Amino acid sequence: MFESIIQGVTSFLSWQNLLATNFGMLLGIIFGAVPGVSADLAIVIMLPFTFNMDAITGILLLMAIYCGGAYGGSISSILLNTPGTNVSLATMFDGYPLAQKGQAKKALGMALVASTIGGVISAFALLFIAPVMADFAMKFAPPEYFTLAIFGLSIIAGISGKSLAKGLMAGGLGAMISIVGVDASSGAARFTFGHYELYRGLGLLPVLLGIFALPTIMNKLRTGEYRTVPEEAISYENSDNLTRKDVKDCMPTILKSSVIGVIIGAIPGAGAAIAAFMSYNEAKRSSKHPERFGYGELIGVAAPEAANNAVTAASFIPLLTLGIPGSVAAATLVGAFTMQGMVVGPTLFATHGDVLYAIMVGTIFVNLFMLLQGHFLIKGFSRITKVPQTILMVALTMFCVVGAYSFNKSMFDVYILLGCGIFMYILGKLDVPGAPFVLGIILGPLAESNLKRSLVMSEGSWSIFVTRPLSLLFLVLTVAFTAYSVMKMRKMNNAAKESGLELGDDK
């Protein structure tokens, strides 16, 4: 492993990779900081740009956006009392009161330090856990993969919205989209109706853009949010600086929250918002002065920020080892890997280990770049919240149309974008979440191919899934985690409602 890591460092250290990661980081912080858009959206928009890039450069660009977005949300939470993303909701509870007390610089500094430490710990976890898990996953047979896909989908469906049934409905709709085209195992054309564009199936990128980008724009138009002039951010320039003592005092909490973030991140679909809230609650519970929380306690900023950034790299563990995307960002990365001719899953370490190690090592550097950018560019970032929404919406629309077209150089994909966008906008009104929809598209084919192989193995008997210990374990875990996650999400929704905001997808 040590040799692979050294090889990864060598592969990472090229000017293209350094440029791409820094650009991605900048973009991620911007999209994270602007309320109403998210890093997930930035990743989807930037996906077509990675098609012509080297695999390491392209995927690191997207990883950097994801990591930057998790930190960027804290800027608007602290300065505007509006979280850039739901991921930063918990940061707002103490970040904004700190800013009001003239300690905005201290709060922003702590958010940056905690995010960096959380992100680096997460990147190391990815580097050391993923290869071991992938090695273990090589022993899985089709029944284990099928139950694993069901495990991933049901958990994501359970916690990404308000209702498990709606989450599973969205997952089913996504799986339905994935079956259009030529069936890989039999070669039969499905739902193509003689149209040659449908033979290759519905492209992931147009569907992603349709599900995430267009409804975001349409919702802003409906609510009139695009007309609102951003509130004046609290000035941070004459406020208190973060001291070494502050960092030292918060360090145990940062480390504990980072571990919580890594664990939550490694569970498919659990998400950074949950990790941030759990860490905030844990910090408050273990504090000698819990009464100070909510009134500008610095640890109240450190805990959620360390946790939400610790989720980032860890959420790629299930993707790289099992082929199960744990988040929308990870699902988008499946598209990036696929376009580079790589199939995500345990075999990826055997076939493209050099690329993976470079990406995992690069993720550590990405978090260090975040520290540098956050330190030197914070003045600019604090102004980002004033980006005119009308420009943002039209620019995003243009990127969506051109991005969808670029997928296959076909107008058909633009029509898919429009169709998915309108459909998801309607479903969004009914509280049907988008994340399980996308994961259904990715997990659908994985589940199908392994279900077929399993049933061939068992001569048509479904008992194969309960007679094999590992597959039975995944089924038991599916039920247990889903029940636990739904319960947890309800609590989070209640907590969010009390503060006037709602948790949904991590965006």
Partner 1 sequence: MLKLKKNLTAGLISCLVGIGLWCVIPIGITMKVSTATNAVGPDYMPRLIAIMLISMGLILIVQSVIFKKDEYVEIKFSQEKMVLYYLLILIAMVIAMPVVGYLPAGLIASVLFFFAFKEKNKKYYAIILAICVIVYCLFRFLLGIPLP
Cα radius of gyration rounded to whole Å, the chain? 22
Q: How far is the CB of 30 from partner 1 (least distance, A)?
A: 15
- 204 vs 122, 405, 480, CA distance in Å? 28, 12, 31
Quick one: CA dihedral 430, 435, 438, 439, positive or negative? negative
Counting residues that bind partner 1 (by CB under 8 A) gives 66
Question: DSSP 3-state assignment of 37?
Answer: coil
182 bridge partner residues: 189
Q: In the bound complex, what is the minimum distance in angstroms from residue 166's beta carbon to partner 1?
A: 6
List the interface residues with partner 1, window 226-245 (CB under 8 A).
226-227
Of 7, 14, 23, 51, the residue at the interface with partner 1 (CB under 8 A) is: 51
Q: Does 23 engage in binding with partner 1 (CB under 8 A)? A: no
Residue with smaller CB distance to partner 1, 206 or 300: 206
468 in Cβ contact with 144 (< 8 Å): yes
Q: Shortest Cβ distance from residue 246 to partner 1 (Å)? A: 40
Closer to partner 1 by CB, 77 or 154: give it.
Answer: 154
Report which secondary-structure segment, H or E, holds 184.
none
Which window, 201-209, 265-273, 328-336, 448-456, contacts partner 1 (CB under 8 A)? 448-456
Name the nearest CA neighbour of 504 among 442, 443, 424, 385.
424
Pairing mode of beta strands 181-182, 189-190: antiparallel
What DSSP letter does each residue of 90-135 carry, written as one string? HHHHHHHHHHHTT-HHHHHHHHHHHHHHHHHHHHHHHHHHHHHHHH
**DSSP symbol at 182:** E
Closest CA to 308 of 489, 462, 486, 119: 119
Site pattern 132..171 for partner 1 (x: CB under 8 A): -------------------------------x-xx-xx--
Is 190 an interacting residue with respect to partner 1 (CB under 8 A)?
A: yes
Q: Tell me the closest approach of the beta carbon of residue 371 to partner 1, in angstroms.
A: 29
Q: Is 139 exposed, middle or buried (0-12, 13-18, 19+ CB in 10 A)?
A: exposed
What does the per-residue mask of binding to partner 1 show for 383-422, with x meaning CB under 8 A?
-----x-xx-xxx-xxx-xx--xx--x-x--xx--x---x
Shortest gap between Cβ of 441 and partner 1 (angstroms)? 12
When asked if residue 429 is in the footprint of partner 1 (CB under 8 A), the reply is: yes
DSSP SS3 for 409: coil
Q: How far is the CB of 444 from partner 1 (least distance, A)?
A: 8
Q: Near partner 1 by CB under 8 A, which window of 117-125, 320-328, 445-453, 491-499?
A: 445-453
Q: Which residues bind partner 1 (CB under 8 A)?
A: 48-49, 51-52, 163, 165-166, 168-169, 172-173, 175-176, 179, 183, 185-193, 217-218, 221-224, 226-227, 388, 390-391, 393-395, 397-399, 401-402, 405-406, 409, 411, 414-415, 418, 422, 425, 427, 429-432, 444, 447-448, 451-452, 455-456, 459-460
